[in-house]
Chain A
């Protein structure tokens, strides 16, 4: 396929998205689906503009901006904590085969546990406060990073480990010069998964613990049957997921450039 045709398909691909939006427009405006559940695209857009304070008029608007900031902040803080502790703990566990043999089965048992299932436990220990939600976000997002780091360390080429022994490298030097670079692709993939989990757990946490943020905002919008506000919140959450994922994919590409010949 030559370049012009690829360009044509990229254009067509945007067209498909526009067609989907048009279908939404027709379905809501023609009343195929009740507007209580499916607001029109223009109403959603108006809610977005008002919530983000872009329309430049009216009082009491612009609250979506604050909610978005709160949710994104919670997601990123939790994710950074998760990445830090995941890599530290993962390196500590992964560097020694004997420690791995003792601890890894327990990790594999905890891994499938839904992070949100820890919310009730965290509520009864810490109470309803922002720190509690942050703890659960960080804890839930830590597992992919931790397990990826352990796996990356376990998969170090045995000959490299022998070289390290011949050079009499200290354990710290071994971790820094051989373990971490070798585990890097795994860690970055784990961190990408962790970011998705962090967003999900942050939203659930806001819903349950009624911390201000997009999660609480869309729940309240649904309870009050404000469908256009609800859709505006969903659009924003989708946007957060899209942008964060794209940024991380970009970072991953740059950081792993040395791997490719």
Chain B
């Protein structure tokens, strides 16, 4: 595996390390009576309690910039009851998914071409190196001009942001396909299309899902960012509006909800990716 591809390395960094609960240091710990399953929740609960205390004290002193988590929970239930929560969540997730679909289809297609043909890869390299570092948020004003507000502008930016990582990861995955498989396809006299769909695509499926997991994370972050910066729809905008109308409880409720949605989507993708790679035989 190429150790210096930044995105691949980032993925490796992101994978959770096995629990080191059995080390001597852990056994020496003063808290050894606490079972391992409870441990992850101790710190968040402590932080929440601290925040609750601090926000209540600040409110007592007359500040309205913060709200205690209990008020945020109440605001959350309110938003869930009147349906605005589900509407905004649906908009963000739907737009992120559509944008990812568009970016992934284009990225995978171009990645296949560049991975299979060294000539194409070399011809395209300068253009890719020049276009890829453009930060996706720089396109927000351009998309605003071209598409106005709504689904299409957000879709375009999410597609742009997810296109590049998928292109790069698919290209490197194709280049690492077992050369003997490609020889087999040549011996069988397969056409280029048959080679792509019957040999290469099945061979890169596990790596493809690793790339898709990264794509999902990027899509969600970019969608929320676009809504916060410009697009008057979705979760990011709801949070921004709550802040601007001095409703810190609702704003914190949205912040927590965005965190939960992001965590759930990422965890779901991790499960999916592991299931796929187990089924298809993990690479390396």
Residues of chain A touching chain B, judged by Cβ–Cβ distance below 8 Å, are: 1, 6, 9-10, 12-17, 20, 36-37, 96-98, 100-106, 108-121, 123-125, 144, 147-148, 151, 154-155, 185-186, 189-190, 192-193, 196, 199-200, 203-204, 207-208, 214-215, 218-219, 221-223, 225, 227, 230-231, 233-234, 237-238, 241-242, 245, 252
Contacts and interface: CB of A to CB of B under 8 A. Distances in A.
Contacts of A111: 14
A147 B125 CA distance: 31
B263 A109 contact: yes
Given A109-B44, A125-B66, A238-B133, A37 B146 contact: yes
Q: What 8 pairs between A and B have smallest CB-CB spacing?
A: A241-B133, A105-B40, A222-B141, A120-B243, A112-B262, A238-B134, A97-B20, A9-B122
Which of B6, B20, B21, B138 gathers most chain A CB within 10 Å? B138
Contacts of A218: 138, 141-142
A200 B225 contact: yes
A9 B237 CA distance: 47
In terms of DSSP, what is the predominant structure of the interface of chain B? helix
Interface of B: 3-4, 6, 9-10, 13-14, 16-17, 19-21, 23, 25-26, 28-29, 31, 36, 39-44, 47, 65-66, 118-119, 122-127, 129-131, 133-142, 144-146, 217, 220-221, 224-225, 228-230, 236, 239-240, 242-243, 248, 251-252, 255, 258-259, 262-263, 265-266
Given A113-B262, A116-B228, A199-B135, A98 B25 contact: yes
Contact of B13 (A105, A144, A203): A144
B225 A116 contact: yes
B145 A36 contact: yes
Given A116-B225, A218-B141, A151 B13 contact: yes
B142 A234 contact: yes
